Each structure stands twice: as C-alpha cells, then as structure tokens.
A and B are shown apart, each in its own frame.
Chain A
Amino acid sequence: MEAVLSLLVALFFAAGIYLMLSRHLIRILLGIVLFGNAVNLLIFTNGRLTRGTPPIVPPDLMTSAGPVANPLPQALILTAIVISFSFFSFLLVVVYRAYQDLGTDDTDEMRVAEPADEAPPPMGY
C-alpha cells in the first residue's frame, strides 16, 4: 500500500512543482495547492497506513482494543490543512491585487522591486 501512495506522492510533488515553475501567478497558485496536498499525503504515509479503524476509543473501554490508525500524523495534517488554506487564500488575494495594480499575472513583467534595466551603482567613492 505504501508503495502505491509513495508513487502518488511523487506525482503530486512533480505536478505541483511543474506548475510552480510557471511564469503565471495563477498557475503557481494551483501548484501550491497540489504541493500542500503532496506534503500532507507524505506525512500521512510516513505514519504507516491502516485500513478502516480510526483512532477512537470505544465508549466502554479506556484504550482501543485492537490496532488503530496512527493518530499523530493525523493531528499534524489537520493543522497543516487549515494553515495551507489560510496560505492559499492570502496568496489568492495578493495575486488578485497584483493583477489589479499591474495588469498582468506574468512574473517576468512584475519588476517593481528589481527593474530590468537597473542603472549600475556609482563607481566613485
């Protein structure tokens, strides 16, 4: 099972990174979403996979009787999902505002901070 998920994680990473290498902000944004899912699945698979049985203690016992899914990666991923959603929404608004002000989503044309034809520094003392 882990082998298949490893392959899937590899695909997620590859696709996410391919999109992030684009020059268009909107595609970078899609890439980031895929990347986030890749990381979550990586952590999930790392904690080993167990079919079915969630880590919930039955009402009449103090601890679970049989083997259950690993709760630790689940707790981490739960936090990660929420944080990546915040990240996604923030980036989305930044992209939106950048588009409004600059009229483009092409990163090569966004050169306010690093102009393409920047004059060299003065050579004197």
Chain B
Amino acid sequence: MRRIAVSKRQRHHGLLCIARRNQFSRGCPPRTRRLSQKKSKRSGKGAFLTFIVLLLPLLGAVLAPSLTRLFGGKSGWLLAVLPLAVFIHFLGMLGTVSEGEPVTGGFDWIPSLGVRFSWLLDGLSLTFALLISGIGTLIVIYAGGYLDGHPQQGRFFSFILLFMGAMLGLVVSDSFLMLFVFWELTSITSFLLIGFDHEREASRRAALQALLVTGIGGLSLLAGLLVITQATGFNDLSTLLGSGDALRSSPLYMAAFVLVLGGAFTKSAQFPFHFWLPNAMEAPTPVSAYLHSATMVKAGVYLLMRLNPVMGDTAAWETVLPLFGGTTLLVGTLLAIRQTDLKLMLAYTTVASLGLLVMLTGFGSDLAVEAAVLYLIAHSLFKGALFMVAGLIDHEAGTRDVTALGGLRKAMPVTFAAALLAALSMGGLPMFFGFLAKEEIYAALGFGSGWAALATLAALAGNSLMFAVAFAVALKPFIGAERKTPKHAHEGPVALWLGPLVLALAGLLAGLASGWVHAGLSSPMASAVAGRAVEITISTIPHIGMPLLLSGLTVALGIAAYLKLGALRAGMAGLLAAIGWGPDRGFDQFVRGVLQASVGVTRVVQNGRMDFYMSVTFLCVAAVLLVPMILFGELPVLPAFPDLRFHEWAVVVMAVIGIGAVVYAKSRLVAIVSLGIQGLAVALLFMLFGAPDLSFTQFMIETLSVVILALVMTRLRLSLSDHRPLGQKLLDTGIAGACGLGFGLLLLKVTQLPFDDTLSQFYNAYSRSIAHGRNVVNVIIVDFRGFDTLGEIAVVMITGLAVLALIRIRAKPDAGKTREIEQ
C-alpha cells in the first residue's frame, strides 16, 4: 500500500538516486532522506510549520508600522515575540540535527525548471539560524529603546524584520536559486538600513557603496552557482554536498571558485573590498550590531563553510583563502587601532575577525574548521554585545568618541558589566567562550610549516591588537576621571541593556558549559563544514602546551598595546596619511569617473542636434542595405537596356525633373509646384501600369497637399534654401546617395528573383465568387482586409483631431498675469 502511495515524482527521484549512486560513491542521501520524510505524515506537518516560521519575520515587517503607531517604542517587546518564536522552533530541531541528521523540506517552486523552494538544516545552517533569531530577538527589543520616539521607528522595525527574514532564508536555503535570491535580499535590506537616515549625504553614500559592492558580489555568486550547476548538474546544496569530488575534478572548478569567492569576499568585507563595512556604521547602532557584525557580514563565511566539503581541499582554496583572510586580519586590526569612534573601532575589528574566519576556513584541517566554528559563535556573541554597548554609551552620553569619554562606571554600572564580560570574551580570557576559540585557533595553526607559522604570527598579531581594542572600547569609557559629555549620562532603560547583558553572559555561560554547547552546536556545525563527523572537545580548563603559551603571549602583547594605544594610534594615523589613498577614496573616484564618462557619452550621443541623429540613422540604413549585399555577393545582375515606350519615358523624365526641382528650388512657389510635378508623375505611372485606383487617389492627395502647403507657406516667413556648407553638402549627398543606391539595388535584385503570386491569384480568383465585387483592389480593402482599413480610418481620424487640437489650443503666456491683476 505504501509503495502505491508514493507519488510519481518521488518515484522519479528514487530512480534518479539509483542512477546517481552508480555514478558517485556517496550517492545522494539527502534526496532519499527527503523521500522517507515525505512518506511520514508527521514530518510533513513539521515542514509546513518550518515554512510558516520562515515567513514570521516577514509578517512582522508588515505589522511593524501599525504596531509602532499604536505603542511607540514599546512595540519592540511585542515584535520580539516573532523572532523568539523562530528561535524556539529552531531550538526544537537541535536534538535531531546534533545526531547528524539534517532536517530538510520544501515544495516545488518552478517545476518546469526543476527549481524547488527547499531548505536544508544541518549543524551549520541551524547554528546560523539560532544566532540570527536569537540575537534578532534582542536587537528588536534594543531597537525599541534605542529609537524610542523616532518618527520613522515603524519603518525601521519593518526593515530590520525584513532583513531577518532574508537572512534566515539565506542560511536555510537548499536550492541555489533561493540562496541567490535571499543573498541579494540581504544586500537590499542592508542598503535600506544603512540609508535609514537618508537625509544625511554620508548615509546615502555608505548605503550606495554597500549595495554596489555586495550587489556586484551577489551577481558574481549567481554566475558561480550557474557554473557549479553546469559543472555538476546539481542545482541544490544537498545533492551537491553528497557528490564528493564531482566539483573538484571538473574543469570548471577554477571558474566556479573565483566567482564564488567574488560573492563571499565582498559580502564578508575581505581586503580589498573591506571599505564598505566601516562606512556602513552610518546606520543606527542596532543595525551595526545585527547586520554588520553578528549576521549578514558572516554570510560570505557561511558560503565558504558551506562549500568547504565540495570546493575545499584544493591548492587554490588553501592558498587564496588564508592569504586574503590573513591580510584582512592584519589590515583590519591596524585600521581599528587608528580609530577613536567606538563604532568604527569595533567595525574594523569585525573586518579583522572576518579575515580570521576566512583564513581558518581555508586552512584545510579539521582543527582549523573547529577553531573557525568556535570563533564564529564567540564573535557573534561578544561583538553584538559590544556594538550594543557602544550604541548605549552614545545614546546616554551623546558621544562615541573614546577620547572624550571616561568615568561612566558609576552612572552606567550594568552597561559596564556587560561591556566588561564581552571584552573578556573578545580578549580570549579563560572561562569565556572566546578563550576556547583562541586556544583552538593556536592549536590548529601551530608551527608545522613556514606557511602555518606565518598564519600563526598573523593570528598572534591580530589577536593581541583586537585584545587592546576590546578593552579600549569596554574599559576606557568607564574608568578614570569623569568627563563632561554632551548629555548627562545615566543608566539606560531595560530594553537597552538587556541585549548586551544577555549576549555577554551567554559568552560566559557557553564557555563554562562548553560540553553542552559543543554537543548541541559546535560539533554538528564543524561536522557540516568539514564534511565528515568531527567532535570538538576543548573545554575551559587550561592545558599546558603551545596554545596556552601563545594565548598568554597574546594577552601580554594586548595589554602592552592597550597601554600604548595613544602612541600606536598616532603612528597609524601618520602612516595612513603618508599612504594617502585607499579603496574608499578609490570608490569615490570610480563613481565620479562613471558619472563623468556617462555625461561625456550622453553629450556625444544625445547632443540635441536633429541633423546629427538623422545622419546616423540613415548611415545605419545604408549600411544595413549595402553591407550584407556586398558581403554575401547578392548584388543584382546588370539589366539589359529597358524597352520602354516613348510616353513611359516621358513620365519617368517628368518625375526626375520634379525631384530635381524640389531639391534645387530657391523659392517657395517653385518648391511647391515641383512637389506637385513629381506627385503627378507618380500618379501617371500608377495609371500606366494598371492601377487606376491608386492613380486617382494620388491625384487627389497631391492636389490637396500642394494647396494646403501653399496656404501654410504664405503664413511662414522662411527662406527655403538651406545654406549647408560644402562639406556638409558632400556628406549629406554621400549618405543620401548610399541609401538610394541601397534601396535601388535591393529592388533590382528582388525583381530579378522568381515571383510568388499565390496570394494575388487567390484574390483574383475569389473576389467575385466570395465577396461579390469586381474591382479586386477595392474588394481587398473593404472586404478581405476590412479591419486594416478600419485601423487606417482610425489613424486618419486621430490625426485630424490632433491637428485640430494643435491649431485651437494655445498656451496663453499672459493668462496668469491678468488673473493677478484682477485679484
């Protein structure tokens, strides 16, 4: 019975699976898993629930403006229920996923193209989903307090929930198309959020910059995904991940690699694309904490981790990723030292952390993968918290300049506690989750080879500088003598300190209860990234060894750097001033260059001179007529001397004289009369060659034209001769002559080819028997092609109305004046 219940489609998949299993050793387990799930009724329900849960943030985005209108800043608490529900739903999957069994589901989206709306929740996706929804809950509450009373708060909630929906979609996507769509959606929502304060030019610039950099990266990713599909034939992640070496051994690997990196490096702000991330700090602080440290900027890292099992383990992967990652790490920390703005300091350390993550992902050992996973989780927690602290200080004290802040510990004790806890994790001190990450990093890198030693040194330098920055942000504003700040600082409302405190405490608790965290989150995630079962065992109890030694060295160097921060900052400032140019300035030059180039092109192409447009148009006409004819040797043969009768020659000569006179006429009357001559000649030609109807119509029309033209010309004081300079005359003659030649040759060629008159014969044969008319031309017009004639009459009528309107309706330039006088 059960076998019968399996639908045709599923059976089709089953067959495909068997076929693929023959091809690749590992077959396609995700498909079979999906198959078994579809059979059971319960997981079908679960899949529907997951779909609804994915839509929840989008629902929130719709509701947010009206809720905010009703409840103001308090609506943050209400709206936070939605991400919390998402968080709880994904928490429920933790058991299944941590046993190594991914949760998948979905439905057909575009069946004709084989596109599905499908999700894949393994350790990697689930950890990301939990971070996004968990931190998202806190951020929504925080934003409620941070932007309390802001007239646009509803819009802000809407955007941030929209982003949450996009980001969730991105990390759970199984099909490539979905992945790309959500990827670009996060770029677009990021654009909206950075440009939230759209009345400031700096905001607009930052928003546009982020959109351009990440948007172009997104297109690169799309190309990369298409290349992967081309290379392997798969268009979703679950089958790709089960395909083993299919991608690595493909000749298209290199192209896919470069294109995917284009997407990942721009999104995750790797050097030299790092410049957009610090500028994105123009956004309100909740955005910086959420998008630009905890979630969105990790999308690039997510992608690299996701593809590590099928793209990693190659020389290119293990060279390029550590190289760019390491450079980004060093550049990021050095630039962070230079800053005095709390948010900018954090932003540059985020750049550095992303570099570290990329370096670890590309290092190519299980231990490095574990380190990357631990650091990613730790970073999301402490950096989110520190950003919120920075925003809180800004909100309460009115400045974020670290040199202008001091002694806030008494006024803001809770904030101080949260900041300190987060900084301890960022600095990698024992008991905190950051410590585990750091130990694992040093254990993974080691001094095995020159390459590894270089990476270790980069990590050591980066980590100690990040240590210094962490405490500069979390300690400097709170200790020392109290400083006068623009606002009188005091502790913020619960909504503002709840988020940082919870995240900072989470960093501590995760460190203490590392066994549970590893079992639930880190080990499944590391297994998904490595592509095989990996178990993380590191705990907060220090083990004597190289990693601990390096950790101690990091702390010592970090403290030294913290104490000498002023001198280091001055040194970096001097160095940057000496260099003078950076990619950020380059972006301005690029945009300006594009603008100037387009202005230049427009000036040439759209120069506002009609004769120029006409010349170009007719040049093209001549080229289209003549070039193919000459290229393909289709020129007509030279005709024999025509046997025209005398009166026929006379009419032709008359037409030629008419044409010549129109062109050369110096006076208006001559021109009009000559126009009449050529028209008359055409009418006579029609008459001679069996077209009396045409001849009659042409006579009437020509007469009318001449009369109307003569009437209008008497009202215009215009000289007819057009004083073209000689060069212009020659050019125009050339273009006109070429066009004429083209048309003439075309006509000659066509008339030399055999003629198919089936249609004409049809009209001749049936004109009388079907349509009961003897004049075949008239029958065609009023009967066979009656609707065409109706259209023609409509055109004539519309023209008549337009002419009437043009003559009757006039702008009255002084109408406004008279009204003013009357008043």
Contacts and interface: CB of A to CB of B under 8 A. Distances in A.
Interface of A: 1-24, 26-27, 30, 33-34, 37-38, 40-42, 44-59, 61-64, 68-72, 74-75, 77-79, 81-83, 85-90, 92-94, 96-97, 99, 101, 105, 107-108, 110-111, 113-116, 120-121, 123-125
Nearest to B618: A17
A18 B732 contact: yes
Interface residues of chain A: helix, strand, loop or mixed (majority) = helix
A105 B716 contact: yes
A84 to B, nearest CB: 8
Contact of B780 (A41, A75, A86, A110): A75
Given A15-B659, A21-B614, A111 B608 contact: yes
A21 B611 contact: yes
Given A21-B615, A79-B788, A96 B712 contact: yes
B709 to A, nearest CB: 7
Contact of B691 (A33, A74, A107): A74
Contacts of B9: none
Given A13-B736, A71-B777, A82-B792, 18 more contacts: A9-B744, A13-B739, A13-B744, A33-B679, A33-B705, A61-B768, A68-B764, A70-B757, A71-B760, A71-B780, A72-B763, A75-B781, A77-B691, A81-B694, A93-B807, A97-B806, A105-B718, A107-B609
Nearest to B749: A6
Given A22-B722, A27-B722, A54-B690, A62 B806 contact: no
Given A4-B642, A13-B744, A44 B759 contact: no
A62 B690 contact: no
Contacts of B735: 17, 21
Interface in B192-217: 201, 204-205, 208
Contact of B608 (A3, A42, A114, A123): A114
Which of B599, B688, B777 has the most chain A CB atoms inside 10 A of its CB? B777
B715 interface: yes
B484 interface: no
A9 B595 contact: no
B803 interface: yes
25 contacts: A1-B642, A6-B748, A11-B740, A13-B736, A18-B733, A22-B732, A27-B722, A33-B675, A34-B659, A44-B694, A45-B747, A48-B755, A50-B689, A54-B691, A56-B776, A57-B767, A57-B776, A71-B763, A71-B776, A72-B763, A81-B694, A83-B796, A85-B705, A93-B802, A105-B716
B760 A70 contact: yes
A89 B796 CA distance: 10
A51 B732 contact: no
B595 A54 contact: no
A69 B610 contact: no
Given A71-B764, A108-B609, A37 B682 contact: yes
A1 B644 contact: yes
B446 interface: no
Interface string B606-620: 111111001100100
Contacts of B595: 121, 123
Contacts of A42: 743, 747
A50 B690 CA distance: 7
A87 B796 CA distance: 9
Contact of A6 (B747, B759, B802, B811): B747
A99 B685 CA distance: 36
A24 B722 contact: yes
Contact of A63 (B656, B743, B765, B775): B765
B724 interface: yes
A24 B719 CA distance: 9
B740 A13 contact: yes
B799 A69 contact: no
A21 B799 contact: no
Contacts of B781: 75, 78-79
Given A4-B642, A81-B701, A114-B608, A68 B799 contact: no
A4 B644 contact: yes
B761 to A, nearest CB: 9
